[in-house]
Chain A
Amino acid sequence: MSEDPSIPSSSSSQMSEDDDRSPPLDLIDGPIPSSKSRNCSGVSGSGVGTSVENTVPYPDQVLENVLENVLCFLTSRRDRSSASLVCKSWYRAEALTRSELFIGNCYAVSPRRATARFTRVRAVTIKGKPRFADFNLMPANWGAHLAPWVSSMAKAYPWLEKLCLKRMSVTDDDLALLAESFAGFKELVLVCCDGFGTSGLAVVVSKCRQLRVLDLTETEVMDDDVDWICCFPESQTFLESLMFDCVECHINFEALEKLVARSPSLKKLRLNRHVSIGQLYRLMVRAPQLTHLGTGSFNLSEGMAQGDQELDYVSAFAACKSLVCLSGFREILLDYIPAIYPVCSNLTSLNLSYANITAEQLKPVISQCHKLQSFWVLDSICDEGLKAVATTCKELRELRVFPVNAQEDAEGPVSEVGLEAISEGCRKLRSILYFCQRMTNAAVIAMSKNCSELVVFRLCIMGRRRPDHVTGEPMDEGFGAIVMNCKKLTRLAVSGLLTDRAFSYIGKYGKLVRTLSVAFAGDSDLGLKYVLEGCHKLQKLEIRDSPFGDTALCSGLHHYYNMRFLWMSSCSLTRQGCWAIARELPRLVVEVMKSNEGEEEGDNFDTLYMYRSLEGPRDDIPQFVEILRPGI
Chain B
Amino acid sequence: MAMFAQDLEATELRLGLPGTNDSEQNTSSTTLVSKSNKRPLQSDMNENNDSSPANRSDEQISQPPPSKTQVVGWPPVRSYWKNCLQSKKTEAEAAGIYVKISMDGAPYLRKIDLKVYRGYPELLKALEDMFKFKVGDYCEKKLGYNNRSEFVPTYEDKDGDWMLLGDVPWEMFIVSCKRLRIMKGSEAKGLGCCTP
Contacts and interface: CB of A to CB of B under 8 A. Distances in A.
A218 B80 contact: yes
A406 interface: yes
Contacts of B28: 570
A406 B75 contact: yes
A526 B51 CA distance: 28
A246 B70 contact: no
A194 to B, nearest CB: 9
Interface in A143-159: none
A197 B110 CA distance: 8
Given A226-B109, A465-B58, A408 B77 contact: no
A218 B51 contact: no
B37 to A, nearest CB: 14
B71 A172 contact: no
Given A404-B85, A408-B64, A464-B29, A225 B109 contact: yes
A497 interface: yes
B111 to A, nearest CB: 5
A134 interface: yes
Interface string A179-198: 00000000000001000010
Contact of A132 (B67, B70, B73, B82): B73
Given A134-B79, A224-B108, A225-B111, A519 B48 contact: no
Given A222-B110, A464-B62, A409 B74 contact: no
Interface in A391-429: 402-404, 406-411
Q: Which one of A199, A225, A460, A517 has the greatest number of beta carbons of chain B within 10 Å?
A: A225
Q: Which one of B30, B50, B73, B109 has the greatest number of beta carbons of chain A within 10 Å?
A: B73
Contact of B77 (A330, A435, A466): A435
Interface residues of A, number: 52
B108 A469 contact: no
Interface stretch (B11-19, B39-47, B136-144): B39-47
Interface in A245-268: 246
B74 A570 contact: no
Interface string A203-235: 000000000000000101011111000000000
A435 B75 contact: yes
Interface of B: 28-30, 39-40, 42-43, 45-46, 48, 50-51, 54-55, 58, 60-62, 64-65, 67, 70-82, 84-85, 88, 98, 100, 107-111
A464 B111 contact: no
Contacts of B111: 222-225
Contact of A408 (B75, B79, B107): B75
A407 B58 contact: no
Contacts of B74: 135, 408, 462, 464, 519-520
A135 B73 CA distance: 4
Given A135-B73, A220-B80, A408-B64, A472 B54 contact: yes
A544 B111 CA distance: 36
Given A410-B42, A438-B51, A218 B78 contact: yes
Nearest to A297: B88
A222 B50 CA distance: 48
Contacts of A472: 50, 54
Interface string A501-544: 00000000000000001011001000000000000000000001
Contacts of A406: 75, 77, 82
Q: Which one of B60, B72, B75, B100 has the greatest number of beta carbons of chain A within 10 Å?
A: B75
Nearest to B77: A406
Given A135-B73, A354-B85, A402-B81, 4 more contacts: A134-B79, A197-B110, A407-B67, A409-B40
A531 B85 CA distance: 36
A467 interface: yes
B80 A246 contact: yes
Contact of B29 (A224, A467, A545): A545
Contacts of A409: 39-40, 42-43, 64-65, 67
Contacts of A199: 107-109
A136 interface: yes
Contact of A403 (B39, B75, B80): B75
A580 interface: no
Contacts of B62: 464-465
A406 B78 CA distance: 10
Interface in A304-343: 330-331
Contact of B76 (A223, A225, A460, A465): A460
List the 8 closest pairs (A to B, CB-CB), nearest first: A135-B73, A472-B54, A469-B51, A409-B43, A199-B108, A462-B75, A406-B77, A223-B111
A470 interface: yes
Contacts of B81: 218, 402
Given A224-B108, A224-B109, A409-B39, A403 B77 contact: yes
A467 B60 CA distance: 11
19 contacts: A132-B73, A134-B79, A172-B107, A192-B78, A199-B107, A199-B108, A218-B81, A225-B111, A273-B84, A407-B70, A408-B70, A408-B74, A411-B43, A463-B55, A463-B64, A466-B51, A467-B55, A472-B54, A497-B60
B43 A410 contact: yes
